[in-house]
Amino acid sequence: MKIERYLFTFIFFLLSLPQLSSKELKVLRWAADAESNAPYIFQDPKIPTNIIGFEVDIVNAIAEILNVETKFVQNQWDGLIPGLYRGDYDIAINGLEITEDRKKEVNFTNPYYITHEQLVVLRGVNYINSLSDLVGRKVGALKNSLAERILRAKGGINVLTYEGEVNAFVDMKNGRIEAVLVDAPIAIYYTAVNPEFVMVGQPIGEISYGIALRKQDTFLLNKLNWAIDKLRKTGKLREILESWNLWNFMMETYFDDFTPSNVPPRKYQYFVEAVGKKSEIAERINLYIKFLPVFFQAALITLGLSLLAMLLAIFVGLIIALARIYGGKIISSLAVTYIETIRGTPLLIQLYLIFYALPSIGIKLSPFLAAILGLGLNYAAYEAEVYRSGFFAIPRGQMEAAISLGMTKFQAIWHIILPQAIRIVIPPVTNDFISLLKDSSLVSVITMIELTKVYNQIASTYYDYLGTGIITAILYLLLGLPFIRIARYFERRLAIERKGNQNINGKVV
């Protein structure tokens, strides 16, 4: 996403406050996206509330050496580096390739893992074995990955890029592409549990993963490098990688350690066992039942978040609507500006600005508050317009009757106009709430773990998007249903009153 990149650059520009880096490190706060699939960081297939992965093991090993506690912070993969500068965590580790571009923004430790790109095709496809075989074919790769750059550099290949590897594999299964080029760990784990895919050809390219941290944290950088080196010397890092079946010839060269492997890949086997076997329907349902509490918890967060955001939207929206209708020239045009600006810009960008840019002027909100504020202020603009139409639906005579009874304008609005307008706008506002409920899934970009995020995490652990997707959809539906009923109820009541009014109005103009 190009626009996000520009935005981030802009945010870095804003971030000029020096961070407190010299203080004694007691807790190593580390960030990753638990949706990033095996074997990096993912949910334990047997205990969904646990986060596991070879990078988790590496962080824990480093923490042990540095004698510090660890604290995991969930963040969207795209937001990992900007989040560093928000100060919510100190390091980001999540298959982040050490590139020149990224080095301009952050410091990287020495690599903790070196690997290559790997071709994957459907089992039985025997005409693809190298990059050259891909010319003239459609090939999938992850967006902004080394694989994409390699494919484009080769020329003549029709490259399709994807946000997540599972999408690429599914597309290959459906015949839209003929091969996928991904980082080797992904290929190893995906093919292990999806036997319809196989790895083919020689290793392609070289990719080094490093831990990213803020530029100014040089002290921490040295400490981490020292720890990684120690892990190398003690053989601990090799042990971790072997247990995940990730030790490779590139690591042998990098570590200058060519002894035969001696640690069984038990974590790899654990994963393959848990995810790989094609489970019976009954087993699958058992699995889903095991997930349900996690889903329910996430649904509650979604609901709570949406309700609070809607409350804010209803309140702020009302003020904006009143300002627009009764505010006089200057206030009214301010209200219009707010409405048009908010409605004219993507919610996603607004969330990014609130979460990543506000800290640079000293306003650092928790993800929950930022999410409520972002959604609430966004919907306030829409609610303001809904109110406005509600106000206009009330005959002018109502205001005049109130004024001529000696009420002030404010009293008239409060006692006469507002109560009637609110009844008119309840159905549309309720509808908006239902769409807010769904839009709330966007806040996962600012580290909130809500329903859609949990769905993605669980789905990506099991490569099961259908069953978990249906559960998620049902939960959204259940969350929204009561409100749909409320809207219906008020619509009906209003219709009765309206009908009544027509009767008495008779021939009234």
Partner 1 sequence: MNGVVLEVRNIYKKFGNIEILKNLSFSVQKGELISIIGRSGCGKTTLLRCINCLEIFDYGYLRVGEIEIERTNLNLASKNNGFIEEIIEEKAQKIRQKVGMLFQNLNLFPHLTVLENITLAPIVVKKEPKEKAIDNALKLLEKVGLKGYENRYPYQLSGGQSQRVAIARSLAMNPEIMLYDEPTSALDPELIGEVLNVMIDLHQEGMTQIVVTHAMNFAKSASDYVMYMENGEIIEIGKPEKIFGEPNDPRTEAYVRLFKE
Q: Does 504 bind partner 1 (CB under 8 A)?
A: yes
Q: In this structure, what is the dihedral angle of CA atoms 312, 317, 318, 322, given to the nearest 10 degrees? A: 150
Task: Kindly give, in sequence order, each residue whose CB lies less than 8 Å from that of residue 407, ignoring residues fewer than 6 positions away.
Answer: 415, 416
3-class DSSP assignment, residue 208: strand
CB 33 within 8 A of CB 76: yes
Measured from the CB of residue 419, what is the shortest distance to partner 1 in angstroms? 5
Judged by CB under 8 A, does residue 509 bind partner 1?
A: yes
Stretch that binds partner 1, among 245-253, 282-290, 411-419, 448-456 (CB under 8 A): 411-419
Closest CA to 365 of 88, 158, 90: 88
d(CA 196, CA 452): 28
Query: Residue 407, interface with partner 1 (CB under 8 A)?
Result: yes
Q: Does 279 bind partner 1 (CB under 8 A)?
A: no
As measured in angstroms, the least distance from the Cβ of 457 to partner 1 is 48
Nearest Cα to 229, choosing from 63, 107, 109, 114? 109
x/- mask, partner 1, residues 415-444, rule CB under 8 A, reads xx--xx--x---------------------
Quick check: 491 binds partner 1 (CB under 8 A)? Answer: no
Check binding of 344 to partner 1 (CB under 8 A): no
Nearest to partner 1 of 405, 474 (CB atom)? 405
Q: Is 411 in the site for partner 1 (CB under 8 A)?
A: yes
Strands 69-74 and 51-52: unpaired
User: By CB under 8 A, is residue 195 in contact with partner 1?
Assistant: no
Q: Please report whether residue 500 would count as binding partner 1 according to CB under 8 A.
A: yes
Q: Does 408 bind partner 1 (CB under 8 A)?
A: yes
> What's the N-to-C CA distance of the chain in angstroms?
56
**Read out DSSP for 5-40?**
HHHHHHHHHH--SPP--SSPP-EEEEEE-TTS-TTT
Eight-state DSSP code of residue 247:
-
Nearer to partner 1, 66 or 422 (CB): 422
Q: Is 508 in the site for partner 1 (CB under 8 A)?
A: yes
In the complex, minimum distance from the CB of residue 300 to partner 1, in angstroms, rounded to a whole number: 35
Task: Convert residues 23-42 into a mask of x (bound to partner 1 by CB under 8 A) and - (unbound).
Answer: --------------------
- For the bound state, the minimum distance from the C-beta of residue 329 to partner 1, rounded and expressed in Å, comes to 12
* Cα 361 to Cα 346: distance, rounded to the nearest angstrom: 22
- 131-137 contact pairs (CB < 8 A, 24+): 131/201, 131/204, 134/178, 134/179, 137/177, 137/178, 137/179
The DSSP line for 460-503 is HHHT--HHHHHHHHHHHHHHHHHHHHHHHHHHHHHHHHHHHHHH
Closer to partner 1 by CB, 260 or 506: give it: 506
* Closer CB to partner 1, 151 or 416, in the complex: 416
Distance of CA 40 to the CA centre of its chain: 17
Among 1, 292, 363, 401, contact with partner 1 (rule: CB under 8 A): 401
Q: Is 492 in the site for partner 1 (CB under 8 A)?
A: no
Q: Which is nearer to partner 1, 175 or 406 (CB)?
A: 406
- Taking CB under 8 A as the binding criterion, the range among 96-104, 400-408, 427-435, 463-471 that sits at the site for partner 1 is 400-408
Tell me whether residue 103 or residue 415 sits nearer to partner 1 (CB atom).
Answer: 415
Structure tokens given for 177:
């592409």
Of 223, 220, 3, 215, nearest in space to 104 by CA: 215
| Of the candidate residues 64, 206, 400, 491, the single one contacting partner 1 (CB under 8 A) | 400
Q: How many Cβ atoms sit within 10 Å of the Cβ of residue 118?
A: 24
How far is the C-alpha of 487 from the C-alpha of 485, rounded, in Å?
A: 5
Site for partner 1 (CB under 8 A): which residue of 404, 435, 485, 489?
Answer: 404
Q: Does 489 bind partner 1 (CB under 8 A)?
A: no
Does 501 contact partner 1 by CB under 8 A? yes
Residue from the set 346, 395, 469, 482 that interacts with partner 1 by CB under 8 A: 395
How far apart CA 485 and CA 497 sit, in angstroms, is 19
In the bound state with partner 1, the residue whose beta carbon lies nearer, of 264 and 419, is 419
Contact residues: partner 1, CB under 8 A: 395, 397-398, 400-408, 411, 415-416, 419-420, 423, 497, 499-501, 503-509
